[in-house]
Amino acid sequence: MAISFDELTRKAKDMAAVAADKAKDAAELAKVNVAIAGEQREMDKNYRTIGEWFVSEYEGEIPDAVRDLVEAVNASKAKIAELEASKPVREEPAAGAPAGEKACPICGAVSDSKFCPHCGAPME
């Protein structure tokens, strides 16, 4: 029972068509998942805006149902302010840096590349 070249070609084309369909389906699924994630981020942003408005509007009259959450948010704000204040001060790059070169935001090394040659951080 020998397989003819035509039959082998037909099977290969069928398999390629199936693979192409699966790739197309995967791409469509990925596109839909990205759209869903974008809508969820937008919804979360809107909920956050509603919450910020609520807290600022009813600052002294926060209902007991959300008082713990508001206190947690205020504690987080205080912690962020504390952490911001504790950031180490970066040294400014040397004033004589050649044109086109940038200082690394992490280690301060001067380079004209996209990434710092010393620490690997992206150059701004």
pLDDT value, residue 102 = 84
**Closest-CA residue to 124 (of 94, 114, 91):** 114
Q: Whole-model pTM?
A: 0.47
pLDDT value, residue 41 = 95
Question: Is the C-alpha dihedral spanning 48, 49, 52, 54 positive or negative?
Answer: negative
Task: Please state, as a whole number, how many other Cβ atoms lie within 10 Å of the Cβ of residue 107.
Answer: 14
Give me the average pLDDT of each 10-residue run along the chain (124 residues). 79 91 91 94 94 87 89 92 85 58 83 84 81
pLDDT value, residue 23 = 92
pLDDT value, residue 40 = 95
